[in-house]
Amino acid sequence: MTKFSHQEAKDRFDRYYEGDLPAAEQRAMDGHLASCAECREEYQRLVQALGALSRLRATHAPEGFLDGVQGRIRKRSRGRFFGRRPDFTSRLPYEVLSVVMLIAILAIFLYVFLGKGGGVIAR
């Protein structure tokens, strides 16, 4: 059976609570919590805290809260975050530019190799 130190057991509390530990680790945690009063008390505090949190009711942010937070971040970061960005139609997307460049290259290729002289330079 795997034995855990206090820190190793504490690091697994969340997964133990959720039931996400492999069977061997689950049994080891059961044994550790049964034999270690310190970890057992701390785990019980965690369970109580999570239980209290789950009983809280959800609440919605007031109207305009998100805009206010984003505005404050924009102001403090001097526009680096949540800065006003131009809409999609005011700039040329790279995909369109790529297609235009491919068409231009194809046109040059066709003109040089299939146009006058067949692409061969006369000497």
pLDDT tens figures, 29-45:
999 999 999 999 999 99
pLDDT digits (tens, 9 = 90+) for 77-106: 877 776 666 555 556 678 888 999 999 999
The separation between the first and the last C-alpha atoms of the chain, rounded to the nearest angstrom, is 87
In whole angstroms, give the CA distance from residue 87 to residue 78: 20
Q: Which amino acid is at 4?
A: F
Whole-prediction pTM? 0.47
pLDDT digits (tens, 9 = 90+) for 42-72: 999 999 999 998 888 888 889 999 989 988 8
What SS3 state is found at 121?
coil
